[in-house]
Amino acid sequence: GAVVSQHPSRVICKSGTSVKIECRSLDFQATTMFWYRQFPKQSLMLMATSNEGSKATYEQGVEKDKFLINHASLTLSTLTVTSAHPEDSSFYICSARFGEETQYFGPGTRLLVL
């Protein structure tokens, strides 16, 4: 299947700083990418849908000013966690939609905010 990469795979930052996570579709163009958050032993929670060339659509309860999403090209979406706090520590996963039915997932980024 197609490959989706995420960078970095893990990041540790100080409280109050901002962290950018990149999601790239390596061998196909993705007009739509999704960002998820996964807490330990829990399911994936959809945070937002990232559409190339337009504003992201955020799920209810997700702060758009806190989690900035930019989908500037057909192969790259970025998630920036602004003014990170310890409660933002989590596993962040992106996926890229391929066609109508299929998603390919990135390996995830583990964020730890101290």
Partner 1 sequence: AQSVTQLDSHVSVSEGTPVLLRCNYSSSYSPSLFWYVQHPNKGLQLLLKYTSAATLVKGINGFEAEFKKSETSFHLTKPSAHMSDAAEYFCVVRRHASGGSYIPTFGRGTSLIVHP
Residue ranges binding partner 1 (CB under 8 A): 1, 4, 32, 34, 41-46, 49, 57, 93, 95, 100-108
Q: Which of 88, 89, 92 is nearest to 105 (CA)?
A: 92
What's the rounded Cα separation, in Å, for the pair 63 and 27? 31
Pick between residue 49 and residue 82 the one whose CB is nearest to partner 1. 49
CB of 22 to partner 1, least distance (A): 15
For residue 68, the cross-strand partners are 80
Pick between residue 36 and residue 81 the one whose CB is nearest to partner 1. 36
What's the rounded Cα separation, in Å, for the pair 83 and 53? 25
CB of 63 to partner 1, least distance (A): 19
